[in-house]
Amino acid sequence: MRAETIKWNDFFNNSTNVANLRSSSFDDGIPASSRNHDFDFDDIWPEVIKAADWTAISIAVITGFLWMFGNRSLAIKRLLDMAIGLEVIIHAPQIIRWLLKF
């Protein structure tokens, strides 16, 4: 297995044919540019939302137990923290777009 190197400026000036370069970690003869490794924010975002939803549900259940056993002030604090955190996670794309305007 041989690693191919290219010059930094040649890569960004597109003077080297990057499609024909092989990745040194996957030596299967498939050009690196034709592999399906082009994940972006839109592909990962639904999974992040699912994880955040399940985390929020878990926190709500645990908070319910705290409330039942008399620790109401801590339960209210945790519910409020969970709601604020979930809203920030859900609205992260809009927050990013808003911040990029500046």
For the stretch 71-102, pLDDT in tens is: 999 999 999 999 999 999 999 888 888 898 87
**pLDDT of amino acid 97:** 87
> With contact defined as beta carbons under 8 Å apart, do 64 and 76 qualify?
no
DSSP at 26: -
Q: Quickly count: other Cβ atoms within 10 Å of residue 63's Cβ.
A: 21
Residue-wise pLDDT for 16-39, tens only, equals 555 555 544 444 555 555 555 566
Per-domain boundaries in the chain: 1-38, 41-100
pTM for the whole structure:
0.55
